[in-house]
Structure 1
Amino acid sequence: MKQPCLDCPFQKSVEYSLSPKKARDILQAIIHDKAFHCYKTVDYSKSIEGRITSESKLCFGAVLFLENTVRGGCRSNVMFRFRLMRQEFKLDDLRKEKRIYKSFDEFIAGASINGLKAKLL
């Protein structure tokens, strides 16, 4: 992956909502060395929670978000650093993406508000 998918929750333009609690849970996971996988590569056939498979890929939006917000960028997360070493993505693929949230507060507020706006339209 070299760019976030169109429905990536880390993109400002996404029009579905995460609850503030879910947004905080995602942030806690990625700052505490957990992998965050692209929802398109997670198996949801047996559970709403989903199951990570050998085909599951990292969420590139989360990688870019860490690059934008955390000292050390995506390398600050052990799982992301491991995937970088396995060459699942390259540092050259990382760029400042204007559509990706630039702070934790912006992600929590935006992920909730964008979905609310979409429901009202």
Structure 2
Amino acid sequence: MKQPCKDCPFKISVKYALSPEKAQDILQGITHDKAFHCHKTVDYSESIEGQVTSESKLCFGAVLFLENTVVSGCRSNVMFRFGLMRSEFKVSDLRKDENVYQSFEEFLLSVTY
């Protein structure tokens, strides 16, 4: 079964320090049809914000976070539906996951400084 990477920012066990604005931007994006790519597949060579490339993959931790927090799960996001169509993950991979944040509030309280 597909898993988030070991240092995914959506995993409860991983400690990230994001500005409140950045954390809100991430939540705003994934709940409004924007893609969120795995940090391991983004090119950071020219910017701390990173550049998505043709090799970038969607963040599976974000997929599971949406499964945990949104009624329609990741299928509520057009870009994540495209990920399903491109076989980045399968419907059978979708599930509630206790290792991933269970609410927007929990995510914001844990990852912001």
Counterpart AA for 1:104: F
Structure 1 ranges of 4+ moved more than 2 A: none
Provide the TM-score with structure 2 as the length reference.
0.94
2-structure distance, mates of 1:96, 1:29? 20
Structure with higher RCO (Cα < 8 A, 6+ apart): 1
Which segment is superposed worse, 43-52 or 93-102? 93-102
Counterpart AA for 2:97: E
Provide the TM-score with structure 1 as the length reference.
0.88
The answer on whether the counterparts of 1:12 and 1:111 sit within 8 Å (CA) in structure 2 is no
Where does structure 1 lack aligned partners over 5 or more consecutive residues? 117-121
Name the counterpart of 2:90: 90
Give RMSD over aligned pairs. 1.3
Which segment is superposed worse, 90-99 or 32-41? 90-99
2-structure distance, mates of 1:93, 1:12? 19
Where does structure 2 lack aligned partners over 5 or more consecutive residues? none
Whichever structure has more helix as a proportion of its residues is 1
Structure 1 or 2, whichever has the larger Rg, is 1
The alpha carbon displacement at 1:15 in A equals 2.0
Q: Mapping of 1:4-23 within 5 angstroms?
A: 4-23=4-23
1-structure distance, mates of 2:59, 2:48? 18
Question: Cα deviations across residues 52-89 of structure 1 (Å, max 9, x unaligned)?
Answer: 00100000000000001111100000000011112111
